[in-house]
């Protein structure tokens, strides 16, 4: 087991803007750290540098107190699961899982013991003789995991391993993967652009944009206390509403936005004149789309709530002051003063 740290790491491809731009972060021993960000923000590049598949332009990678920046992948005791799974197409499931052990020169008997162990926790027992192309997406993913697992690595690097699964399988795979990580306690860095996955699985989340870290924290911190407007609007669906007032952006989550009449005078709240335009019924909840001034905002209500206003007519809404978040209108950075 080991912690993983990157220090001021940079990766520049040619003349382009850097894909990874001075990122420093640490995954503690045993932690499940999620790298979350939009497509092209540098998640894969960062992960590949940690794994040693991509040499950094500058900066260092530290695994368990050793600087490994210039060591090849096989010297780093890491296991990686690729987005494409990258199984060896000409080998059976058994040989795929055995490959890293053979490469290490593990004794034959020990090999079989570990392969059986990995196969049984991942439910691959009946599939050992098949070739990768004879497997479903979910089965391939489990083979890729088993191959990573048998090496007993000190760090797991996972690059969007669930993105090829359909919604249902993904939910159960998410569950299995997280339980599995908890039970073996291996430090894990998990890349995704899916916020539900990130919120549900991560001990902590690092939100990336344009090659930089915008915020690192627990899922709750990221959601409740976003460090800037990028994080505020990247997480949550629908995302945080932002209304410009003076030099500040006033931010609030759709679930905190409700008719002023519902608020009681004892708890201070901020007023907004809201014009609802459209209702969206989603089964468990309903979303009301509308405008405050000329900015689009959304309100979210449980489907069971009776709504006493009608579409098209302005109505007085409010948000409890403790749920308000303020951002500098120009820089987008969080401001902790109440205007």
Residue ranges that bind ligand ATP, judged by CB under 6 A: 13, 19, 37, 39-45, 193
Q: Confirm or reject binding of residue 107 to other proteins (CB under 8 A).
A: no
Name the residue nearer to Mg ion (CB basis): 12 or 163: 163
Of 248, 255, 249, nearest to 223 by C-alpha is 255
Q: Confirm or reject binding of residue 209 to Mg ion (CB under 5 A).
A: no
User: How far are the Cα atoms of 198, 211, 222, 288, 322 from residue 225, in angstroms, in the given order?
Assistant: 16, 21, 6, 24, 11
Q: What's the CA gap between 113 and 193, in Å, rounded?
A: 36
Q: Confirm or reject binding of residue 130 to other proteins (CB under 8 A).
A: no
**Interface region with Mg ion, contact rule CB under 5 A, candidates 23-31, 36-44, 168-176, 217-225:** 36-44
Residues pairing with 192 in the sheet: 36
CA dihedral sign of residues 331, 332, 333, 334 = positive
DSSP-assigned letter for residue 37: -
Among 133, 294, 330, 337, binds other proteins (CB under 8 A): 133
Q: What's the CA gap between 170 and 137, in Å, rounded?
A: 11
**Interface region with other proteins, contact rule CB under 8 A, candidates 49-57, 169-177, 194-202, 240-248:** 49-57
Q: What's the CA gap between 336 and 339, in Å, rounded?
A: 9
> What is the side-by-side order of every strand in the sheet holding 325-328?
241-245, 248-252, 325-328, 334-335
Q: Confirm or reject binding of residue 14 to other proteins (CB under 8 A).
A: no
Q: How far is the CB of 81 from other proteins (least distance, A)?
A: 9
User: Residue 19 binds what, of Mg ion, other proteins, ligand ATP, none (CB under 5 to 8 Å, by partner type)?
Assistant: ligand ATP
Q: How far is the CB of 104 from other proteins (least distance, A)?
A: 6
Q: What's the CA gap between 119 and 145, in Å, rounded?
A: 10
Among 1, 13, 70, 74, binds other proteins (CB under 8 A): 74
Q: Confirm or reject binding of residue 55 to other proteins (CB under 8 A).
A: no
Contact between 270 and 250 (Cβ < 8 Å) = yes
User: Residue 185 binds what, of other proteins, ligand ATP, Mg ion, none (CB under 5 to 8 Å, by partner type)?
Assistant: none
Name the residue nearer to ligand ATP (CB basis): 86 or 275: 86
Name the residue nearer to ligand ATP (CB basis): 45 or 241: 45
Tokens of 45: 């590049």
Among 44, 178, 209, 229, binds Mg ion (CB under 5 A): 44
User: Residue 67 binds what, of ligand ATP, other proteins, Mg ion, none (CB under 5 to 8 Å, by partner type)?
Assistant: none
Q: Confirm or reject binding of residue 146 to other proteins (CB under 8 A).
A: no
Beta strands in 135-186 (DSSP E): 155-159
Enumerate residues 6+ apart whose C-beta is below 8 A from 197: 34, 162, 170, 174
Counting residues that bind other proteins (by CB under 8 A) gives 27
Contact footprint for other proteins (CB under 8 A): 48, 51-53, 72-74, 78-80, 82-90, 99-100, 102-104, 133, 147, 151
């Amino acid at each position: 087991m080991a912690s993983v740290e990157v220090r001021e790491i940079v990766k520049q491809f040619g003349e382009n803007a850097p894909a990874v731009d001075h990122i420093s972060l640490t995954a503690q021993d045993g932690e499940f750290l999620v790298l979350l960000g939009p497509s092209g923000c540098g998640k894969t590049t960062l992960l590949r540098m940690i794994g040693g598949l991509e040499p950094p332009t500058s900066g260092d990678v530290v695994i368990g107190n050793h600087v490994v920046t210039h060591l090849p992948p096989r010297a780093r005791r890491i296991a990686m699961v690729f987005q494409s799974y990258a199984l060896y197409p000409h080998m059976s499931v058994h040989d795929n899982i055995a490959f890293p052990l053979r490469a290490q020169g593990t004794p034959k008997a020990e090999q079989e013991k570990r392969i059986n162990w990995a196969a049984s926790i991942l439910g691959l027992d009946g599939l050992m003789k098949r070739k990768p192309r004879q497997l479903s997406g979910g089965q391939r993913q489990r083979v890729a995991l088993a191959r990573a697992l048998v090496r007993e690595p000190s760090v797991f690097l996972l690059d969007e391993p669930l993105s090829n699964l359909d919604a249902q399988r993904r939910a159960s795979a998410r569950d299995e993967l997280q339980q599995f990580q908890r039970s073996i306690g291996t430090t894990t860095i998990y890349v995704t652009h899916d916020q539900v996955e990130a919120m549900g699985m991560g001990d902590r989340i690092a939100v990336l944009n344009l090659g930089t870290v915008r915020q690192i924290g627990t899922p709750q911190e990221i959601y409740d206390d976003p460090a800037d407007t990028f994080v505020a609007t990247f997480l949550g669906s629908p995302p945080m509403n932002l209304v410009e007032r003076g030099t500040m952006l006033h931010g609030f989550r759709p679930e905190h936005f409700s008719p002023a009449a519902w608020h009681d005078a004892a708890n201070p709240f901020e007023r907004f004149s809201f014009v609802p335009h459209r209702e969206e019924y989603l089964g468990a909840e309903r979303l009301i789309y509308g405008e405050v001034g000329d900015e689009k905002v959304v309100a979210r209500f449980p489907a069971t709530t009776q709504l006493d206003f009608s579409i098209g007519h302005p109505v007085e809404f409010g948000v409890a002051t403790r749920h308000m978040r303020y951002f500098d209108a120009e820089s987008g950075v969080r401001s902790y003063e109440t205007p």
